[in-house]
Amino acid sequence: MTIKVSIKINGKPASAEVEERTLLVTLIREHLHLTGTHVGCDTAQCGACTVHMDGRAIKSCNILAMQAEGASITTIEGVAHADGTLHPMQQAFHEHHGLQCGFCTPGMVMSAIDFVRNHPDPSEQDIREGLDGNLCRCTGYHNIVKAIQAAAANPAAGLITA
């Protein structure tokens, strides 16, 4: 059986007919064609699928699309400013080399934005604990932590305008 799911994604209304068992990550990637949100583990352990739902970071492989009905979703595609200027967290990841292969980066950035919003002056240990649930197989986290520390100094790092 299919159902219609209507959401606001990256500031724009969107809807799709999906099967009841469709995951939010599948709606985002396959129906709305926003492929920046990655599927890593399908078990909510790696964080590659992290998006913001109603202003809070969630793992989109762990929620049904129909549970997001009426919600406001922000994906990595909705983080940069409309003119293409990177979000302060994206800029910090770039400047501090907080990525290698890039697979985990969208989810890591989305989690980091939410983390900094709730922890405006985090210590290195706070950041490392805050990243629990986001796996990176390439970097060893050192530069990711440096990027988040640098971004946290910018009051806009915890905000999304979409």
- pLDDT tens, 101-111? 989 999 999 99
| CATH T-level fold of 88-155 | DNA polymerase; domain 1 (1.10.150)
- Which residue in this structure is represented by tokens 């809070």? 56
Residue spans in the chain of domains classed CATH 3.10.20.30 = 2-77
Nearest Cα to Cα of residue 142 among 93, 87, 89, 76: 93
What pLDDT is recorded for position 159? 82
Phi first, then psi, for residue 80 (nearest 5°) are -65, 155
Neighbour count for residue 115 (Cβ, 10 Å)? 24
- Give the architecture-level CATH label for domain 2-77: Roll (3.10)
pTM for this prediction: 0.94
The yes-or-no verdict on residue 162 having pLDDT over 60 is no
Region 21-48: what's the mean pLDDT? 95
Band of pLDDT at residue 39, cut at 50, 70 and 90: very high
Band of pLDDT at residue 14, cut at 50, 70 and 90: very high
Residue spans in the chain of domains classed CATH 1.10.150.120 = 88-155
Contact status, residue 65 vs residue 22, Cβ threshold 8 Å: yes
Region 90-104: what's the mean pLDDT? 93
